[in-house]
Amino acid sequence: MASGHVHSRLPTKRPTRARGPGADATAFTPIVGRDGELGLLREQLADPSVRLLTMTGPAGVGKTRLALALAEDLHGPYERLDLAGHDRAGTVLDALAAAAVPGRLVIVDQGEHFTEALAAGLPRLLADRPETRVLLVSREPLHLYGERVLRVPPLARVASLELFRQRAVAVRPDFSLNGGVRAEAARLCELLDDLPLAIEFAAARLKLFRPAELLDRLRDGQDVLYGGPTLSHHASMRAAIGWSHDRLTGPEQAAISALALRDGVFSPADDPELAPEIIETLVDKNLLVPMPSVDGEPRFRMLNVVRAFTRALDAPPVTPSRPRPPAPSLTPREQEVAMLVAQGLTNRQIAGRLGIAEWTAVNHVRNVMRKLNCTSRVNVASWVLRDGAVAAAD
């Protein structure tokens, strides 16, 4: 590391991810791919008139990782502020002011939690401190005048495969992409939208399954990616998508439900019934990702993870073959457990939250799934959203 390199990789407030892949892994695993994005970011920062550069992209696409790689690359001092450790808008602006040391790049991570506070406070801060530059990492841009926005796309397929290989070797030292495994891994990466976080979750599952089995389970829509003992500290993709989905307006949710019913790429021009401003919002919030245009025609696609989440949310919560048991069959404790499952918590996290043993939580979750006739945790989430609130209100 260059001398005089001041940084605060440790979150300034309380740590948000103590263990598991993520920020910690950054310290000792190499960055895979991203040469193009790093080049673009460097180019933007070489322009002194750029004071606020925002990197946006879906959860798990690798924004934080890329921001840290860029910061290392610049060989200059930087400050890092992780907003996930804050719970009030007021403290965010104070922390930002404290981090804005002249001449130092300030990386503000997880900005999506405080878009309004940042949009209100940043212009003032940047005006008052002409030597401060901010690299904002967020699932959505602020739409400020002068803000440069760089959309972080999913990994290129070769990079996805290499990331999968590296993480697979970590849990199975004999793993290699030889023979048919390469094609299976490539298909997995495709189903996982080439999102690094999803790829890491999947590779961790190679402890239990062969790639072909993992692929089958994923095709069946099974919940192979979420939770698990080694990943219990990592916010799940589903929780992140649920968070974005919750913040959409009714018409936006309706549009995403309609789009989730079909596969593949679409052009807004083909869909006169979808309001352009709604599509714009969905792209803005990275629930739809732009695709290379054909003949200048803008095209978008919905990430598979978003589609699966939306379909599960909209699907009837039980299989039609068996009648749904009445909601009151859940004990109050099981209702509580179902709520926590719906929030994306793992068994271990549920145990921690309720102050019970992990095996007790496992039993509760199993009972909840049996009683609700659910085959996955996503089904439980969909039950909670549709019927759980009603049951609780009764």
Interacting residues toward Mg ion by CB under 5 A: 64
61 binding partner (options Mg ion, ligand ADP, none; Cβ < 5 to 8 Å by kind): ligand ADP
Min CB(345)–Mg ion separation in Å:
19
Q: 237 or 338: whose CB is closer to Mg ion? A: 237
Q: Kindly identify the residues of this chain, within the stretch 117-176, that bind ligand ADP according to CB under 6 A.
A: 163
Which residue in the block uniquely carries the two structure tokens 């803008």?
298
In the complex, least distance from residue 233 CB atom to ligand ADP, rounded to whole angstroms: 11
CB closer to ligand ADP, 11 vs 57: 57
| Binding flag, residue 193, ligand ADP (CB under 6 A) | no
Residue 133 binding: pick among Mg ion, ligand ADP, none (C-beta 5-8 Å cut-off by kind): none
Which of 200, 206, 337, 346 binds ligand ADP (CB under 6 A)? It is 200
Rounded to a whole number of angstroms, the minimum distance from the CB of residue 48 to ligand ADP is 27
Give, as ranges, the residues between 57 and 76 that touch ligand ADP (CB under 6 A).
Answer: 57, 59-65
Geometric angle at alpha carbon 64, from 61 and 67, rounded to 5°: 115
Give min distance, CB of 175 to ligand ADP, in A: 17
Q: Taking CB positions, which residue lies at the least distance from ligand ADP?
A: 62
Closest distance of CB 195 from Mg ion, Å: 12
The amino acid that residue 18 corresponds to is A
Instruction: Tell the smallest beta-carbon distance from residue 6 to ligand ADP (Å).
Output: 22
Contact string 6-35 vs ligand ADP (x = CB under 6 A): ---------------xx--xx----xxxx-
| Least CB distance to Mg ion at residue 37 (A) | 14
- 124 — phi, psi (to 5°)? -60, -50
- What whole-number distance in Å separates Cα of residue 341 and Cα of residue 226? 11
Considering the complex, state which of residue 121 and residue 196 has its C-beta at the smaller distance from Mg ion: 196
Task: Residue 34: name its binding partner from Mg ion, ligand ADP, none (Cβ under 5 to 8 Å by kind).
Answer: ligand ADP
List, in sequence order, every residue forming a beta bridge with 102; answer none if it has no partner.
none
Contact 133, 46 (CB under 8 A): no
Residues that bind ligand ADP (CB under 6 A): 21-22, 25-26, 31-34, 57, 59-65, 163, 196-197, 200
